[in-house]
Chain A
Amino acid sequence: MRIKNLLLAAFMVVAFSASAWAAQIGVSGSTTVLPIMQKAVEAYMKAHPETTLSVSGGGSGNGIKAIIDGTTDLCMASRFMKDKEVALAMEKGVYPVPFAIAIDALVPVVHPENPVGDLTIEQLRDVYTGKIANWKDLGGEDKQIVVISRDTSSGTYETWEEKIMNKERVFAGALLQASNGAVAQAVSKNKFAIGYVGYGYLNAALKPVKVNGIEGNPETASSGKYPVARFLYVFTKGWPEGELASFVMYLLNPKYGQVHAKDAGYVPLY
């Protein structure tokens, strides 16, 4: 019994000291940034085996919360910090430093069989406020529009609200889905649905809709022509140092992190 315990204690001491040697970086936050991060982390750990990164989602709000509480080292966010969060950080003496790592373009999508392919911002707003409820008003069939939106607290919705809704509320009858994937799934299974997803989630089962006659793609988003695009960030607690700095630079590197951003379907910055 005693020998067993001794062995266990010895093992734990060894395990702890070993983990103290290897650099541990915790990453959490926006699920929109997650696809980039997963690719980047995988490649980074292969190149730097002494560093261990653990990535989890949870949403921008949780990531920012974790940075302020000091429970994570790097936070992914699909929006900038809110005033309240900045105030909380200041109160705790934390200075979050933002790095923009990519651009996300939101694309309205419909079912591939839907004839509608070009809408104005005003039309989109009217659809989402419930003023336009039938596809025939948009040049489609005489069928009720099934409006699919994201949860009002998601970063994706905030961008949509900011770029499209112009302070108006999405009407209560809109179906709210919890993720980009769920919206894509719901629209691809419903001929009369409209939704919006990040550029990276477009697939053959979805038909992208032009906004004000402009197609949402990397070129129009990075040139600023496409109206429904936003920056994606990572935040560190104070200016990053050591392994963390090296990883942030890796994310910003046009040869590495930016390639991963592009692979994940986003628009690279550099």
Chain B
Amino acid sequence: MMDRKLKEKCIRSAFLFTASTSILVLALIMVFLFMEGMPIFQDYPPLKFLFGHEWYPTADPPDFGIFPLLVGSMLVTAASSAIAIPLGVMTAIYLAEIARPRVRGYVKPVVELLAALPSVVIGFFGMVLFAPFLQDVFDIPTGLNMFNAAVMLAFMSVPTICSISEDAIFSVPKELKEASLALGATHWETIRKVILPASLSGISTAVILGMSRAIGETMVVLMVAGGAAMVPSSLFSPVRPMPASIAAEMAEAPFRGDHYYALFATGIVLFLFTMIFNIVADTIANKHKQVGAATL
């Protein structure tokens, strides 16, 4: 008897330990991030850091204005979402509602396979093939720009958006759909007025997770965004999103120097962004949760 209870206890604490490991690791990383990032604000005002237009970290005296990087990150994410959301959601609708099960069985794994492509491969594709193509077609000075980065990031977020939305749409209770069709609505009306609203929370989560993937993505923007630290004047201007800046400069920043602290502070800003995205996704998912099937 005792032995069984003891065993139960052991198992429970073992699971508690595993569950708390990831939280503990995250907490430690956060502490470290803030410890290494906050010192920059001792001698550099936070507002000047956030809204300064000059990013010259190695100049003397250095300038750590991340505004161009911030704007770069946001615009690239917005542009890639503009491509990826319609593409991802529409693919999801097709797969869940319109495609025959056989087609769905083939297409879905392929879309998900796109997520398995290493980002460096997508970046290389953008750099070597897509950039020269953009230069020739649009007659622009350089193909390494915001548009290129947005398209490449869209490749990466489409699988996330598509796969999660597809699950959401697919799990809409059959009864809802059948009721709508029975009332004489066409398939398209059913999709638009019944299925989409019912799966809205899942789709929103998918969209936001896709966007947070795009904003945090490093390798692709490092390779194809061009890397000019300025507020872009058009869709074809080169930009320098925050992750690219951190990745490119961290290796050479003097350990615990101002530049090092500034890069960690950029990391804090990035972390806050993705955290906000995740909180929003979570709230939406909880708020519009489909509770049970609507059978009566």
What is A's interface to B at a CB cutoff of 8 Å? 57-62, 64-65, 68, 82, 84-85, 88, 143-144, 146, 151-155, 157-158, 161, 169, 172-178, 182, 185-186, 189-190, 192-193
Contact = CB atoms under 8 A, between A and B. Distances in A.
A108 B112 CA distance: 43
26 contacts: A57-B251, A61-B252, A62-B252, A68-B255, A143-B141, A146-B141, A151-B248, A151-B252, A152-B57, A152-B59, A153-B249, A153-B252, A153-B253, A153-B259, A158-B58, A172-B68, A173-B238, A175-B144, A175-B226, A176-B228, A178-B227, A178-B247, A189-B132, A190-B135, A190-B141, A190-B143
B257 A84 contact: yes
B228 A172 contact: yes
A170 B170 CA distance: 53
Contact of B229 (A57, A144, A176): A176
Contacts of A193: 142
Interface string B220-245: 00110011111000000010100000
A62 B127 contact: no
Contacts of A62: 251-252
Interface in B142-172: 142-144
Given A61-B255, A84-B254, A173-B228, A178 B142 contact: no
A231 B141 CA distance: 34
A189 B253 CA distance: 30
Given A62-B251, A68-B255, A178-B222, 4 more contacts: A152-B57, A152-B249, A176-B226, A189-B143
A84 B259 CA distance: 12
Closest CB pairs A-B (n = 5):
A59-B251, A176-B227, A153-B252, A172-B230, A65-B255
Contact of B253 (A61, A172, A185): A61
A144 B236 CA distance: 14
A94 B254 CA distance: 16
A182 B135 contact: no
A154 B238 contact: no
Contacts of A161: 58
A60 B228 contact: no
A155 B252 contact: yes
B144 A152 contact: no
B56 A169 contact: yes
Interface residues of B, number: 36
Given A169-B56, A176-B248, A192 B254 contact: no
B128 interface: yes
B291 to A, nearest CB: 47
B134 to A, nearest CB: 11
Nearest to A58: B251
Nearest to A167: B60
Contacts of A172: 54-55, 68, 228-230
Nearest to A144: B141
Nearest to A85: B254
Contact of B128 (A57, A61, A174, A189): A189
B246 to A, nearest CB: 11
B211 interface: no
Contact of A175 (B57, B68, B228, B247): B228
B131 interface: yes
Interface string B265-288: 000000000000000000000000
A60 B252 CA distance: 6
Given A84-B257, A146-B141, A193-B142, A173 B249 contact: no
Nearest to A161: B58
A61 B251 CA distance: 6
Given A172-B68, A173-B230, A186-B127, A178 B253 contact: no
Interface string B25-58: 0000000000000000000000000000011111
Contact of B127 (A84, A169, A174, A185): A185
